[in-house]
Structure 1
Amino acid sequence: MRNISDIIEHHLKSILTNSPNGSIEIQRSELADHFQCVPSQINYVINTRFTVQKGYLVESKRGGGGYIRIRKVQIVSKARLQELLTEELIGESISQSVGYAIVERLLEEGLVNIREATLMKIATSRNVLTLEAELRDRLRANILKQMIAAILLK
């Protein structure tokens, strides 16, 4: 059985998929009422499942007429995607969880298949990169950058 966070995520993604402009506006309290949960549960889902690394932009306005706007970032070109991923999101160092989120995004966009995504995750996991954390995160960044460059060149 799926947990409430998975259900909320699935609900929001299905609304986004059916949105003509790839954007939705929701009211945190209305969504919490719909799923009979606390508004902080909605915050948790949005903060952990709709991140830039996963291909989403989130805007929030608090207050009486407040809303949360979620937009799926569209890939303009492979060159721009490579620049965005390697220079802006990965940088010189990257944690395993952020690296995995980027690999999941590549999978969602159809740029890698399940096998390639699995191999990317294994090659950059802390179980394989058995080094001190700082060095491991720098090595992971270099490996991911090279893998992404090779994938986007094909």
Structure 2
Amino acid sequence: MAETNISDLIEQYLKEILGEDDIAEIKRSEIANRFAVVPSQINYVINTRFTLQNGYIVESKRGGGGYIRIEHVDLVDDTKIFDELIDYIGDSIGQSNADQIIVALLEDKVINNREADLMSSAIDKNSLRISDKVTENTVRARVLIGMINRLRFESTDSHE
């Protein structure tokens, strides 16, 4: 339980830094020292909570002058992110990761609540009703990619 709490605190701290600028450049060791945790705990928080499907791009440079740069991206204004989301989805995606993508699209106001509900329903395991998990995740990926492609074109059209 303590690990979850410290992860929440680290996430909150990083989001506060991001709140000022939408870009945070940090040193893993400095954050680890601040929270008295090992650097791998910082990696865990970044790898699980600052993901592309949650609306973040993370860049890491190793070495003595190394840093981690976290950038919150606005999916509405940055249509190249749709390509990165599609690359992330690939040929297969599980329910949880797909739901995270939909939540990020909703939070960035790319879609509204009704559209989010429709997307979630379309890719839900109960709607797909495929007994083979591999096939289910493949179909989910195809459906989600189709919807994201449609959003990209609407987003591009609406900015012209």
**TM-score normalised by the chain length of structure 2:** 0.74
What fraction of aligned residue pairs are identical, expressed as a percent?
50
Q: What residue identity is the alignment partner of 2:97?
A: V
Change (3 A) 1:35 1:127: farther
Q: Give the structure 2 partner of residue 96 of structure 1.
A: 95
Where do 1:53-72 residues align within 5 Å? 53-72=53-72
> Where do 1:3-152 residues align within 5 Å?
3-19=5-21, 22-75=22-75, 77=77, 80-86=80-86, 88-131=87-130, 132-149=132-149
> Runs in 1 of length 4+ with deviation above 4 angstroms?
76-84, 149-152
- Extract unaligned runs of 5+ from structure 1: none
| Deviation at residue 45 of structure 1 after TM alignment | 0.4
> Residue by residue, what CA displacement relative to the aligned partner does 1:49-105 show, whole Å, maximum 9, x if unpaired?
11222232222233333321112234475764544444x233433222321221122
Long gaps (5+) in structure 2: 156-160
* Cα shift readout 1:15-61 (whole Å, capped 9, x = no counterpart): 11211xx3211111221222232222111001111122223222223
Secondary structure class of the residue paired with 2:16: helix
Aligned residues: 151
Q: Secondary structure at the match of 2:138?
A: helix
Change (3 A) 1:142 1:61: closer
TM-score (norm 1): 0.76
| Structural RMSD (CA) | 2.9
CA deviations on 1:106-153 (whole Å, 9 max, x unpaired) are 022112234543443343233443321221012212322343355563
Higher helix share: 2
